[in-house]
Structure 1
Amino acid sequence: MYRDYPLEQFMAQCYGNVNDLSKGRQMPVHYGCRERHFVTISSPLATQIPQAARGPGYGILSIRVDGNDVFAVYNATKEARQRAVAENQPFLIEAMTYRIGHHSTSDDSSAYRSVDEVSYWDKQDHPILRLRHYMQSHGWWDDEQEKAWRKQSSKKVMEAFQQAERKLKPNPSLLFSDVYQEMPAQLRKQQESLASHLQTYGEHYPLDHFEQ
């Protein structure tokens, strides 16, 4: 996995189990890891100010790159790191990409974009496909290697999937933690109210699926 991000951690976040660093409180598609500097924030260009345009206002060098181009992202990141190390200053990279899938299970993206548009990004401008074509054109990859890699990766994913599925969910009390350094009275009252509710009506909830 990229930057040693464990596959098991991806699955833990997907299921929101006890190994999930967010304790099940984040959407299962916003993978993040503070230790490896993965952030979960994205910004749609159509509804927000371009991120690269914000940098200069804060005195931060900024660049926008094609996020579907592995080499563009690599070169931008390399330059950013060199400047950060040599000049001790921040650097903002805005990587432009395209969301092929629906925004959520309740979103029908065909209402605001055509099938042809999605197909183009999926079949021609997909970052993995572009890199694969580049590697094949240089003789570094072929269909047999692709087939073997997919089979091996699928096995690893399914094993991690099944392991994550069997793990317990975080204790419900953790819904209220990691918000304030010291829990305010109102939040503590809500926590106590939930605990009282579960103690009284716990038989109506699958509490055996949660860590006690």
Structure 2
Amino acid sequence: MAVKANVFDLQGQLNKVAENFPMFQILNEEGEVVNKAAVPDLSDEQLKELMRRMVYTRILDQRSISLNRQGRLGFYAPTAGQEASQLASQFALEKEDFILPGYRDVPQIVWHGLPLYQAFLFSRGHFHGNQMPEGVNVISPQIIIGAQYIQCAGVALGMKKRGKKSVAITYTGDGGTSQGDFYEGINFAGAFKAPAIFMVQNNRFAISTPVEKQSAAHTLAQKAVAAGIPGIQVDGMDPLAVYVAVKEARERAVNGDGPTLIETLTYRYGPHTMAGDDPTRYRTSELDNEWEKKDPLVRFRKYLEGKGIWNEEIENQVIEEAKEDIKNAIKKADETPKQKVTDLISHMFEVLPQNLEEQMEIYKAKESK
């Protein structure tokens, strides 16, 4: 028996879902306020501090790329272009909140308290780069795509069970939303109303695959619907919009209303990582130029200059401060004792199994020569 045509308005259903996820923005590309009612109540000093961190981090990115090319850093994923998404989200957190970063999210954990020299050691694969200081609530950047979403759900549930008034926040890129761990993490956190914030930094390319080929979803924020949690799409080049979105998500979480998924529309100006990626093979110069006009530093600089609280002299001071800090941090990283094989083995288990005990003795003998 034939089924009547058009019983279900399936395309209409999809369209209605997409309509519920408009991009949230406060500052346009010219640094002009386009959503006055949403402007956050930040003091001039707080605004300047956020800009300082963004400028500092742009310099850190430039120097890290140079250090990588010199062979003085190991794995490195450039961050230029994503400063608003990364730093404004961290700026909305409290010290007791827990950050579970992806591999591009080193800036957030540095500003959350990880000493810069240890961030450099992490890049080199040194165990001390993964030993977080007491009171710094971060874990090492996750290399496995999307795995931090599972971890975030668990950390957030632990906070809830302990009655903590804090949140766990994690980050992935647009490619991470194609992973099973992404769905499992948001679904678990939603089911238990865990105080989690799930950030999706949509920089349009999962290495070389454009977001349009990763998912048929009109937005990545709407993937929250399947988990029964709120989703928000934000202009990720607008630091004020990112700050407001994360601040509100944090308030929801600590008040017992559960997790939020936030998609930030952003762009990475450099390669995916410094491990041989060539973005000119999959990105057009036209697209690069389009997003360069949306540069979060340029946008925020214009806004602060318009308020009379930022100028070239202040920015140059920040640049020199960043260069000096980076020079001292890389020197301290260089002075850290080289990692030995026995160091690596000794940090794998509290009690070594027999096979590693045997290997430990072998390498102790080699290293003593």
TM-score under structure 1 normalisation? 0.70
Residue in 1 that maps onto 2:321: 152
Aligned to 1:16: 125
Structure 1, 167-176 or 49-58: larger mean CA deviation: 167-176
**Residue 10 of structure 1: how far off its partner (Å):** 2.3
Structure 1 residue 41 corresponds to structure 2 residue 172: yes
Give, in whole Å, the separation in 1 of the partners of 2:350 and 2:222: 34
- Which of 221, 236, 245 in structure 2 is aligned with 1:76? 245
SS at match of 2:130: coil
Residue aligning to 2:285: 115
Structure-2 separation of matches of 1:167 and 1:38: 30
Closer/same/farther in 2, CA of residues 65 and 113 from structure 1, 3 Å limit: same
Whichever residue aligns with residue 323 of structure 2, its letter is S
**Partner residue of 2:271 out of 95, 102, 105:** 102
Shift of 1:22: 7.2
Do the aligned residues in 2 keep the contact of 1:18 with 1:169 (CA within 8 Å)?
no
Unaligned runs of 5+ in 2: 1-109, 133-139, 156-166, 176-203, 205-210
1:113-192 equivalence runs, <5 A: 113-122=283-292, 124-172=293-341, 174=344, 189=355, 191=356
Report deviation, 1:135: 0.9
Q: CA deviation at 1:66?
A: 1.5
Q: Which residue of 1 aligns with 2:19?
A: none
How large is the Cα RMSD of the aligned pairs? 3.7
Could you tell me how far 1:101 is from its partner in structure 2?
Answer: 0.8
Instruction: Tell me which amino acid in the other structure corresponds to 2:329.
Output: A
Name the residue aligned to 2:231. Answer: 62
Equivalent pair of 1:62/1:91 in contact (CA under 8 Å): yes
Indicate how the Cα distance of structure 1 residues 199 and 4 shifts in structure 2: closer, same or farther if over 3 A, else same: closer
Query: Which whole-Å CA distance do the structure 2 matches of 1:83 and 1:26 have between them?
Result: 26
Q: Which runs of 5+ in 1 are unaligned?
A: none
Give percent identity, aligned residues only. 27
Inter-partner Cα distance in structure 2 for 1:3 and 1:140: 25
Following TM superposition, by how much is the alpha carbon of 1:157 offset from its aligned partner in structure 2, in angstroms? Answer: 1.2
- Residues 3-52 of structure 1 show CA distances to partners (whole Å, capped at 9, x for unaligned) of 3443233223223324211799966xxxx9x9995646323351544542
Cα deviation 1:115-154 (Å, max 9, x = unaligned): 34324433x2122222112111221100111111111111
Q: 1:177 to 1:18 in 2, by over 3 A?
A: closer
* Whole-angstrom distance in 1 between the partners of 2:318 and 2:123: 23
Check 1:5–1:130 CA distance in 2 against 1; reply closer, same or farther (3 A cut).
farther
User: Kindly tell me: are residues 163 and 113 of structure 1, through their superposed partners in 2, closer, same or farther at Cα, counting changes over 3 Å?
Assistant: same
1:87–1:25 distance in 2 versus 1, CA, 3 Å:
closer
Deviation of 1:103 (Å): 1.6
Deviation at 1:77?
A: 0.9
User: Residue 37 and residue 119 in structure 1: after superposition, are their counterparts in 2 closer, same or farther (change >3 A)?
Assistant: farther
- Residue 176 to residue 18, structure 1, CA distance change in 2 (3 Å): closer
Partner secondary structure for residue 41 of structure 1 = strand
Matched residues in 2 for 1:76 and 1:12: separation?
A: 32
How far is 1:67 from its partner?
1.5
Contact conserved, 2:341 with 2:363, CA < 8 A, in 1?
no
Question: Structure 1 counterpart of 2:174, which letter?
Answer: S
- Aligned with residue 260 of structure 2, among 78, 83, 91: 91
The aligned length equals 192
